[in-house]
Amino acid sequence: MKKKTRMFIIHAAVLIALIATALFFMRDASDIFLGRAYDPAAGTRSKLGMLARWMPADRDFYIAVDVPRALSNGPLSDRVSAIVAGKEGVAAELISALLENHDALGMLAVAGRLGELGAESDVVILAQGNFDEKTIVPAIRTAMSAGRAGLTAQNLGWATVYSESDSRDPLAFMLLDKRHLAAGRRKSLISFYETKPEDKGVDKSFEIDDVLSGYVAIGERMKSSAPKEIYLPDAAYIRSADGIQISATIPCKDPAGAQGVLMFLDGLRSLVMIQQKPEGETGLAAVVKGLGISVEGNDVVLKGELLPLISLWTERPHNPPAQKAP
């Protein structure tokens, strides 16, 4: 992962955590929690259906997580907590506050465009909860000011984009409605939400009841890395019913095409295993080795555990060998 992309993910996580923290400290305010029809603990299918309207229409991927259900799983919550364990500073404190009060949010999603080779991706993080502009924006402004970060506003006509005032590539957020908030780079938010998305009613493709669900387009950029004789389909669908096991289904045109995809993925797995030495059975190599890859009818199905993927974020880089004294 490129350094700039990694920094964006860290900053975005901090912003989402900051929002959740503001909700935590204002949890008794009647103008936030009373009189709202939204329930963070409602059914996943209904929450995802509401979120669907705000997914970027020209997305290449999305991953959506039911936050209360995901973090009610003890091992998963503990493993996510380990990401900030032992770390100091505002980021660790804010993320810890989110984990301690995860019922402030109903869903989190990441969506966007992957971009062409060598180009930046456009990514947006969507949060679903009880949001109110008159209370949440001042709270975020105060918190950012405490961290010596200013906040500016840009009116799009139907909504306002709030962004860092002292950054060349500012992180920003906007309230889409009383229940949904979007965060990302300012230019990405404006690209996705310059005009208000239409409410097209219930999207059948989002009627899913899994803790985690998503979609990844297999575009020309990825297809170009495969041998010409290997057929790669157009998408993979990601699901986790319990927050423990995760699967990715790749629909193919026929069983023969599925066998070709399976052989290609097996080859990629072997390559990763070789490149990860001398770590061997740890890190990415362990995750890849633990994946089950099979053909079911016309589909290629990958199955594995979610916790090892989360663990990749908690691993410390190997310390360089100590230099000998002169």
Exposed / middle / buried, residue 156 (Cβ in 10 Å: 0-12, 13-18, 19+): middle
pLDDT at 132: 64
302 phi/psi in degrees, rounded to 5: -105, 135
The closest of 53, 186, 52 to 124, measured between CA atoms, is 186
- Angle between the 74-84 and 90-100 helix axes, to the nearest 10 degrees? 170
User: How many Å apart are CA 161 and CA 180, to the nearest integer?
Assistant: 13
- What are the CA-CA distances from residue 67 to residues 78, 108, 119, 179, 215 (Å)? 14, 7, 31, 15, 18
- The tens digit of pLDDT for each residue in 113-136 reads 887 666 677 888 888 887 766 656
DSSP string for 151-218? EEEEE-SSSEEEEESS-SS-EEEEE-SSSEEEEEEHHHHHHHHSSPPP-----GGG----SEEEEEE-
Extents of the domains making up the chain: 3-193, 218-311
pLDDT at 318: 41
Whether the upstream peptide bond of residue 278 has omega within 30° of 0, thus cis, is yes
Q: Helix (H, G, I), strand (E, B), or coil: what is residue 240?
A: strand
- Quick count: other Cβ atoms within 10 Å of Cβ 166? 10
pTM: 0.77
Contact 50, 197 (CB under 8 A): no
For the chain, 326 residues long, the average pLDDT of each consecutive 10-residue run is 56 58 46 56 92 92 89 72 52 48 73 76 84 63 58 88 80 85 88 91 84 89 78 91 91 93 88 68 71 94 84 50 41
293 phi/psi in degrees, rounded to 5: -120, 125
Q: What does the DSSP 8-state code read for residue 38? A: -
User: How many Å apart are CA 312 and CA 295, to the nearest integer?
Assistant: 27
Contact 59, 113 (CB under 8 A): yes
